[in-house]
Amino acid sequence: MSSASRIIRHSRKFCNGQSVLSSEASVLGRYFSTNGSSYAGKGNDILKGRQCGLSGKENRCIGKDFSLFKASSEGISKSFARTNMNGSIPMARMSLSHSFSSLQTTLRRGFSSISELPPHQEIGMPSLSPTMTEGNIARWLKKEGDKVSPGEVLCEVETDKATVEMECMEEGYIAKIIHGDGAKDIKVGEIICITVEEEGDIEKFKDYKTSAKPAETTAPSEPSSPKQEVPEPAKAPEPKPTVSKTEEVPHGDDRIFSSPLARKLAEENNVPLSNIKGTGPDGRILKADIEDYLASSAKGVPTQKKDKTGAPVSDYSDIPISQIRKITASRLLLSKQTIPHYYLTVDTQVDKLMKLRSELNSMQESSGGKRISVNDLVIKAVALALRKVPQCNSSWMNDFIRQHHNINVNVAVQTDHGLFVPVVRDADKKGLSTIAEEVKHLAQKAKDNSLKPEDYEGGTFTVSNLGGPFGIKQFCAIINPPQSGILAVGSAEKRVIPGAGPDQYEFGSFMSVTLSCDHSVIDGAIGAEWLKAFKGYIENPHSMLL
């Protein structure tokens, strides 16, 4: 009997461990094993008597010595089973300084008598956002052998939203880094590093390799995966013979396949078809092949690069896709495919708005505050219009429509790293000066790629402005799900306003805005009513100050 199991067998504290464990999405457990494998599972499957070497009367309650740590779905979802047994090694924890929803981690500790590895902790790739299924390691701030303390940053993880720092909560040493700097497409739960509590144990993990078995036990889809794999190998070889037969037909035939135009052009220029490699289907010679042959014969050099099959090759460079751009593309594609978009456009006269902005900026400069932009005034007008027409501040939830009571406006910001939409929370309750400061601060964080999840999650409506920075007159934006509306803001331009008489006229500045609506939530009349309220605030900006 191993010393570990003997400790448990003779301890009155260790019994009925499953009574203190509840079903959670992610559960961490400490146990003693004789086969060197770690175990992770759900709910009461974690600590069973037969895995701890307990039976009969010994399999009772350790409720007082077990504490289960949980966080709500709004924070980090953590479940720990910790023992207070004398001589036990405290379980290390991974934490993030930010409040993420639906965070799931894979941290496992095993005590092995076969592999002779000391107590260690396997830290997995966490799920840092509701849509995250995989992530990238931007860079490690700690290296193998470094000591880590609570609050220190281990590495930077590139998620589908932003680059986030991952922190440590307990002291220890990094024994092995499984995925180094720049590692991409790491699945959530996949092990990224190993930590130990004693510095002398680091050397024992020099040749450590992860095992596939622990990952399989944590996967919720384990029972269904073998059934899906069985029929696939049997079907794979079947189409191969048919493909090979069709490919052998042209090789076994001495005929030269060519189009009528190609044959005519070859006859006119005395070009033998046997000297030309066709680029058409099944090697068919096309008119373009004859023209390329004639051009190359005239110059003595090929006019275009060709690959082994004779097809023209163009010069290009492949740009790697970041995790942020990949998720942005998939979400926008989903939006256009599943959301019934329709668009409403209106012109707003902004002369009074520009005059008010000039007056406010002169006051801001004298007091040392941030200058107020046209976009800041647009955000304020959007928020007040949403308060007046709350149906547009809603989301489609399949079985019901959720009308939000908080008005949180996302602002689209284009950066070198991709498109970000940081959020200004409770924009209807904030003054223009506060909105201006927040927008500039968030835009700078987006350009520095340092946005945190709380900086962009929870928005209820989005504003995209391509008029001020780029001079775009009018455009239609794609809705950012699960929101039901987005406002596309164009540039302002001078126009002639006819007067009462034939020779009476004046000039005015007009700005075009287009509202993209989800017809599942916002009917046409409701969208028009919202635009009317927005136009009223823009053309009478002093009403926003009331």
Q: Tokens at residue 293, please?
A: 């042959």
Q: Which amino acid is at 222?
A: E
Alpha-carbon radius of gyration of the chain:
33
Distance of alpha carbon 445 from alpha carbon 438, whole angstroms:
11
In contact, 15 and 62? CB cutoff 8 Å: yes
Residue in the block written with tokens 């090759």: 313
Q: What is the distance of C-alpha 266 from the center of its chain?
A: 56
Distance from CA of residue 463 to its chain's centroid? 20
- Determine the distance from the C-alpha atom of residue 319 to the mean position of all C-alpha atoms in its chain, rounded to a whole number: 18
Helix (H, G, I), strand (E, B) or coil at 2: coil
Q: Quick one: angle between helices 351-367 and 432-447, nearest 10?
A: 80
CB 47 within 8 A of CB 18: yes
Long-range pairs for 414-418: beta carbons < 8 A, 24 or more residues apart: 415/446, 415/447, 415/449, 416/447, 417/322, 417/324, 417/449, 418/322, 418/324, 418/325, 418/328
Q: How many CB atoms lie within 10 A of CB 44?
A: 15
The neighbour count for residue 320, using CB atoms within 10 Å, is: 6
Distances in whole angstroms, Cα of residue 533 to Cα of each of 319, 461, 539? 44, 15, 10
Is-catalytic flag, 523?
A: yes
Which residues are CB-contacts of 48 (< 8 A; sequence separation ≥ 6)? Answer: 17, 18
Question: Which helix (DSSP H) or strand (DSSP E) does residue 86 occupy?
Answer: none
Alpha carbon 311 to its chain's center:
38
- Please identify which of the residues 185, 426, 523, 542 carries the catalytic annotation: 523
Torsion angle, CA of 272/274/277/279, rounded to 10 degrees?
80
503 is catalytic: no
CB atoms within 10 A of CB 254: 4
Find out whether 192 and 179 touch, Cβ atoms under 8 Å.
Answer: yes
Residues serving a catalytic function are 519, 523
